[in-house]
A and B are shown apart, each in its own frame.
Chain A
Amino acid sequence: MSFSLATPEIFLLSATCFILLLDVFLKDKFRSIGYWASLLALGVTLVLTYQSWTEAKALAFNGMFVHDTLSVVLKMAVLSIVTAIFVYSKPYLIDRKIFKGEFYSISLFATLGMMVMISANTLLMLYMGLELLSLSMYALVAFNRDNGRCTEAAMKYFVLGAIASGMLLYGMSLLYGLSGSIELSSIAEYVANQKIMSSVALLFALTFIIVGLGFKFGVAPFHMWVPDVYQGAPTPVTMMLASAPKIAVFAMTMRLLVGGMEFGSEGWQQMLIPLIVMSMVIGNIAAIAQTNLKRMLAYSTISHMGFVLLGFVSASEGGYSAAMYYAITYAITALGGFAILIALSHEDGDAEELDDLRGLSRRHPWYAFMMMLFLFSMAGVPPLVGFFAKLYILQAVVSAGFVWLAVIAVLMSVVGAFYYLRAIKLMYFDKPIDERSISMSISFNALLSVNGLLVVALGLTPSLMALCLIAIKQSI
């Protein structure tokens, strides 16, 4: 019966439990068996997901679980990104002597959480997936538990995350109270019969939900945790925070706001606009003042998430698919940027100051070139993918009539270009402070090159955008 629709999730859950147990019995020198088993589990899940590709939308578990093109595409993106994170982070974990099985099993549980979020069709499932993801992430941030900054970051993240979850849950319960259902399609029916702008209770529910979502996206003014956690967490975890969950949160927003409350778009548009404007302004301007590279990237994430939300403001298929495209491509670009940070780290400490980038082109020209690609893409320089992502978003926003928002977005991108270009300038025009040579494994370098190639190729070929458009059309 419809159980089969959830085969990838079921497989991943079983495999993760198996890996968890396996790790207990492994001696330290066989640790990498756990690593390979995790990669295998992700690979098989990816194949299963790919095989489940359908043109038709299908429900399972009494309407709790939805399976459509959108979910397949997003799950495949998440799974690929987590796989890449595992490969990237291995040398870092070994250097820090935290190459433990827990890292993999917790990450796999987080992945499972994201998959649940992507396929959720009820408020309950959404919340469950989100909490599975969040709890795993709290643990991951604290992973290097002997490090003071790590635990501090985890503590902040946990407490603030709990507040946000509380607000989200409160909003959900209001919504349930109003509509009498936790199923998104019934909620959509209820909202369709209401006049959103005159129903104060509905607006309250919506506000709390948006605060929760805003926290998970990390948009202003719910962004304060982002720089501290990015800086405090071990670099692989930061990489994880900045990439895959953003896709899952996109899915959640898509399900909640568009799937559940599309007829209330007038209401959530009004609420998203101030968040977006603040994120773009604060994210880009505060990033300029940073000397710490991870913090700089944290602020840059804040502004990029503003862009993703901007796609929702247009409340059109074009806008949603542009937001989806943005979320996926940003995750890929951020992945590469953090991978360079991992490559630059050494046993004495993480590479996290801007100064660590100085003279990279002389120490390792290929890494410098790759980093330049990632930074240029984030700045939105054509023909890299970041440019097209911004272009699609702006197109949707302008055609929805919010020209002034597009103008702000473009102006703030100009401000943002400053700190990306400053990093590139440091790499290419300054003398290195640290003359140590950098060498990484072949798999790391190969993956990084593929990552760089993707940033170029996805921009040149419009196929991913076409795929996003198909997925969005089908899910609505």
Chain B
Amino acid sequence: MESIYLAIPLAPLLGAIIAGLFGSKIGRKGAHIVTILGVGIACLLSFYVLKHIAFDGNAFNGNVYTWAAIDGLAFNVGFLIDNLTAMMMVVVTFVSLMVHIYTIGYMEHDEDNWPKGSLVGRHSYQRFFSYISLFTFSMLILVMSNNFMQLFFGWEAVGLVSYLLIGFWSTRETAIFANMKAFLVNRVGDFGFLLGIATVLMYFGSMDYAEVFAKAPEVEGVTMSIFGAEEWSVITVACLLLFVGAMGKSAQVPLHVWLPDSMEGPTPISALIHAATMVTAGIFMVARMSPLFELSTTALSVVLLVGAVTALFMGFIGIIQHDIKRVVAYSTLSQLGYMTVALGASAYGAAVFHLMTHAFFKALLFLAAGSVIIAMHHEQDMRKMGGLKKYMPITYWTSLVGSLALIGFPGFSGFFSKDLIIEAVHASSTPHAQIAYWMVLIGVFVTAFYSFRMFFLVFHGKERMDDHTREHLHESPWVVTVPLIALAIPAVISGYLLYPMVVGDFFKNVIAGVGTEGSLATEMKDHYHGIFAFIAHGLMSLPFWLAISGVGSAWFIYMRKPEIASWFYKHFRWLHTLLDNKYYLDAFNQRVFAGGAIALGKGLWAAGDRCLIDGCMVNGSAWIVKKFSAWSRYLQTGFMYHYAFSMIIGLLGLISWVIYKTNVLGISG
């Protein structure tokens, strides 16, 4: 089995290396064949591993290679393959495979996206495939890790690939700005994450998950002082720091600012990285660390509130966006907020379950949006769309499935996971859970409203595009539609895994609380009476009616009476401005952090760099070195007797030095 575990991440890596380094030799076709083959192998093996782990119950935890050992602390490369990992592996490789296939269609005319004759534009197609395969490798390393160091490696590697892909069209100013922003904001999160790992290492003395979790009860009562005399619980500090990392990667308020801008990248990666997999790494990490988070109510409470704020307030922004991808991006933010809320409510299973269903339907929605963008010749403004239903039937129906899943329509996957989260928050004993409950409840209405606003604006109503675009409208090729259909299937049915995955014991011994008496998970199990009872109950509950009213009002406002929207726009101008400026967070960051850093840098440059370092130290020492080297060259005369002389001088010098030393020591000793 160990070789299979090794093969799963290495197959995409191999594909990435071949497509990346030899892209010019193997051509476009070679590049996509080799990467799809690599990811395909990883996907098949992941399904096999899922069967092997989940059904035959053979969890694996072991090291394959020791990279270095320092003072008894081993840095290992190892795998922890349990039910959680196996599920993540299947989701990652499956979505990645679909995205790989889809990319063949999406990037077909990529040369049009580059200026004529630009050097970076050469082989961009192969490079793109190399990057997404590399991403798959990194993400697999992240989820399969059995220790913090490898986790951090994967964490940084996915961040790197995300950076490369956001700025993929590197000749565009906006893309460069967006990838720089994503990189810097993630640096903030990663700094916290690294401090968290350091805290764990300092107090647990190990980087291995199993050892750390086993030691957690011992460390529970330990405190540390950070500033002044106040004592902090070590577990709380560690969890909060780790969560800062999760906030960066999973785009939680206030570190969410990079995700909307990341839409500058090509759509396939928006689907794969910025919706389905990488951004959920934070959720996965917290779920993985659940034995630690369970021990700190404070940390859970923070997680809960951050998640609730993200879920609701990012949804609001989604309402006023015109760019089709940005709407989906804000919905991603909001859904990530839902997952985080679930984590805070100790319903880790529900969070991971929503992670999975969300991966399928959100990837679907992004790819469908991409399909629309292809058809519209890279026009992303919804105000110039409309009535696309008759031109693109497959995209239309798959989008409908995705949207219904997103709003949590009973029977679709999102319904089960979201309902479960809302119920869990309602039942949770984490402090402030009731505030969060109402926030996520309102969030349901908002989600339904913006999702169907987009849906109606794009596929129904008047055709607002220009004539030239309309003439060329047609359904996308099969490489695009097949992944849409393939993702639509799990977007519907993956919800029915509710019983085995969350209510049952699937995550027993993996996630804290599952299977123990009195925990939230056990309580949910007691209230569960079969899948159809769950649906029937859902039909009578508040969230369902909120969702329906959201869809209804979207239809009424944007299809029937558009004047309502303009009335709102006129009379609530301030609200629109506030949302349009994203609560002024971007402006604040730009002004205070970016501006402050630039001002500080300029000041230091003028005083320290130009004057002190350049002036005195660099040029000054260079001058000394130059003089000295010229002088030493002068000494090297080439005459043998000079050389011999210098040896004798050296000998005499040494002897004098030794005698001097003995005298000094002789006096003192």
Query: What residues make up the interface of A, taking CB atoms closer than 8 Å to B?
Result: 155-156, 159-160, 163-164, 167, 197-198, 200, 203-204, 206-208, 210-211, 214-215, 220-222, 224-225, 227-228, 267, 270-271, 274-275, 282, 285-289, 415, 462
Q: Which residues of the partner chain B approach A462 to less than 8 Å between Cβ atoms?
A: 68-69
Given A274-B654, A286-B636, A225 and B643 contact (CB-CB distance below 8 Å): yes
Binds A, one of B12-20, B54-62, B313-321, B624-632: B624-632
Rounded to whole Å, the gap between the CB of A297 and the closest CB of chain B is: 15
Given A156-B640, A204-B655, A415-B625, A289 and B630 contact (CB-CB distance below 8 Å): yes
Rounded to whole Å, the gap between the CB of B635 and the closest CB of chain A is: 8
Q: How far, in whole Å, are A220 and B628 apart by their CA atoms in the complex? A: 15
B651: Cβ under 8 A from any A Cβ: yes
Within the complex, which residue of A203, A207, A220, A289 is in contact with B651, where a contact is CB–CB below 8 Å?
A: A207
Q: How far, in whole Å, are A270 and B647 apart by their CA atoms in the complex? A: 18
Within the complex, which residue of A198, A274, A288 is in contact with B625, where a contact is CB–CB below 8 Å?
A: A288
Is A163 a contact partner of B662 (Cβ separation < 8 A)? no
List the 6 shortest-distance A-B pairs measured between CB atoms, nearest first.
A289-B629, A221-B650, A224-B643, A286-B632, A288-B629, A285-B629
Is A282 a contact partner of B647 (Cβ separation < 8 A)? no
B638: Cβ under 8 A from any A Cβ: yes
Q: Which residues of the partner chain B approach A198 to less than 8 Å between Cβ atoms?
A: 662, 665-666, 669
B644: Cβ under 8 A from any A Cβ: yes
Q: Which residues of the partner chain A approach B607 to less than 8 Å between Cβ atoms?
A: none
Rounded to whole Å, the gap between the CB of B261 and the closest CB of chain A is: 33
Is B666 a contact partner of A211 (Cβ separation < 8 A)? no
Q: Which residues of the partner chain B approach A160 to less than 8 Å between Cβ atoms?
A: 640, 643-644, 647
Q: Which residues of the partner chain A approach B651 to less than 8 Å between Cβ atoms?
A: 167, 207-208, 211
Q: Jot down 25 A-B pairs with beta carbons below 8 A, ordered by A.
A: A155-B640, A156-B640, A160-B647, A197-B662, A197-B665, A198-B662, A200-B662, A203-B658, A207-B654, A211-B647, A211-B650, A211-B654, A222-B650, A224-B642, A224-B643, A225-B643, A228-B638, A270-B661, A271-B658, A282-B632, A285-B632, A286-B632, A286-B633, A287-B629, A289-B632
Is A222 a contact partner of B638 (Cβ separation < 8 A)? no
B651 nearest in chain A by CB position? A211
Q: Which residues of the partner chain A approach B653 to less than 8 Å between Cβ atoms?
A: 221, 274
Tell me how many residue pairs across A and B have CB atoms closer than 8 Å.
91
Q: When each residue 100-121 of chain B gets 1 if its CB lies under 8 Å from chain A and 0 otherwise, what string results?
A: 0000000000000000000000
Is A274 a contact partner of B632 (Cβ separation < 8 A)? no
Is A285 a contact partner of B625 (Cβ separation < 8 A)? yes
B649: Cβ under 8 A from any A Cβ: yes
Given A159-B644, A198-B666, A271 and B657 contact (CB-CB distance below 8 Å): yes
Q: Which residues of the partner chain A approach B665 to less than 8 Å between Cβ atoms?
A: 197-198
Rounded to whole Å, the gap between the CB of A391 and the closest CB of chain B is: 12
Rounded to whole Å, the gap between the CB of A289 and the closest CB of chain B is: 4
Q: How far, in whole Å, are A204 and B656 apart by their CA atoms in the complex? A: 10
Within the complex, which residue of A167, A267, A275, A289 is in contact with B658, where a contact is CB–CB below 8 Å?
A: A267
Q: How far, in whole Å, are A159 and B653 apart by their CA atoms in the complex? A: 21
Q: How far, in whole Å, are A207 and B646 apart by their CA atoms in the complex? A: 16
Is B626 a contact partner of A288 (Cβ separation < 8 A)? yes
Q: How far, in whole Å, are A163 and B651 apart by their CA atoms in the complex? A: 12
A228 nearest in chain B by CB position? B638
Q: How far, in whole Å, are A289 and B630 apart by their CA atoms in the complex? A: 6
A208 nearest in chain B by CB position? B651
Query: What residues make up the interface of B, taking CB atoms closer than 8 Å to A?
Result: 68-69, 625-626, 628-630, 632-633, 636, 638, 640, 642-644, 646-647, 649-651, 653-655, 657-659, 661-662, 665-666, 669
**B contact face: mostly helix, strand, loop, or mixed:** helix
Q: How far, in whole Å, are A286 and B626 apart by their CA atoms in the complex? A: 9
Is A207 a contact partner of B633 (Cβ separation < 8 A)? no
Q: Which residues of the partner chain B approach A206 to less than 8 Å between Cβ atoms?
A: 658
Q: How far, in whole Å, are A285 and B68 apart by their CA atoms in the complex? A: 35
Q: How far, in whole Å, are A155 and B638 apart by their CA atoms in the complex? A: 12
Given A160-B647, A222-B647, A227 and B654 contact (CB-CB distance below 8 Å): no
Q: How far, in whole Å, are A321 and B477 apart by their CA atoms in the complex? A: 64
B638 nearest in chain A by CB position? A228
Q: Which of A210, A221, A462 has the most CB of B within 10 A?
A: A221
Q: How far, in whole Å, are A298 and B106 apart by their CA atoms in the complex? A: 57
Q: Which residues of the partner chain B approach A221 to less than 8 Å between Cβ atoms?
A: 646-647, 649-650, 653
Is A163 a contact partner of B644 (Cβ separation < 8 A)? yes
Q: How far, in whole Å, are A163 and B636 apart by their CA atoms in the complex? A: 19
Q: How far, in whole Å, are A450 and B647 apart by their CA atoms in the complex? A: 39
Q: Which residues of the partner chain A approach B669 to less than 8 Å between Cβ atoms?
A: 197-198
Rounded to whole Å, the gap between the CB of B237 and the closest CB of chain A is: 31
Q: How far, in whole Å, are A155 and B640 apart by their CA atoms in the complex? A: 9
B648 nearest in chain A by CB position? A163
Q: How far, in whole Å, are A285 and B627 apart by their CA atoms in the complex? A: 10
A206 nearest in chain B by CB position? B658
Q: How far, in whole Å, are A220 and B646 apart by their CA atoms in the complex? A: 9
A164 nearest in chain B by CB position? B647
Given A215-B647, A224-B647, A289-B632, 18 other A-B contacts at CB below 8 A? A156-B643, A160-B647, A198-B666, A198-B669, A200-B662, A208-B651, A211-B650, A214-B650, A221-B649, A222-B647, A227-B636, A228-B638, A270-B658, A274-B654, A286-B633, A287-B629, A288-B626, A289-B629
Q: How far, in whole Å, are A286 and B643 apart by their CA atoms in the complex? A: 16
Q: Which residues of the partner chain B approach A203 to less than 8 Å between Cβ atoms?
A: 658-659, 662
A461 nearest in chain B by CB position? B67
Q: Which residues of the partner chain A approach B626 to less than 8 Å between Cβ atoms?
A: 288-289
A200 nearest in chain B by CB position? B662
Q: Which residues of the partner chain B approach A225 to less than 8 Å between Cβ atoms?
A: 643
Q: Which residues of the partner chain B approach A164 to less than 8 Å between Cβ atoms?
A: 647
Q: Which residues of the partner chain A approach B649 to less than 8 Å between Cβ atoms?
A: 221
Q: How far, in whole Å, are A327 and B644 apart by their CA atoms in the complex? A: 26
Q: How far, in whole Å, are A198 and B658 apart by their CA atoms in the complex? A: 10
Q: Which residues of the partner chain A approach B658 to less than 8 Å between Cβ atoms?
A: 203, 206-207, 267, 270-271
B660 nearest in chain A by CB position? A270
Q: How far, in whole Å, are A221 and B645 apart by their CA atoms in the complex? A: 10
Q: How far, in whole Å, are A164 and B644 apart by their CA atoms in the complex? A: 9
Rounded to whole Å, the gap between the CB of B12 and the closest CB of chain A is: 22
B658 nearest in chain A by CB position? A203
Is B646 a contact partner of A224 (Cβ separation < 8 A)? yes
Rounded to whole Å, the gap between the CB of A155 and the closest CB of chain B is: 7
Q: Which residues of the partner chain A approach B68 to less than 8 Å between Cβ atoms?
A: 462
Is A197 a contact partner of B632 (Cβ separation < 8 A)? no
Q: Which residues of the partner chain B approach A270 to less than 8 Å between Cβ atoms?
A: 657-658, 661
Is B636 a contact partner of A224 (Cβ separation < 8 A)? yes
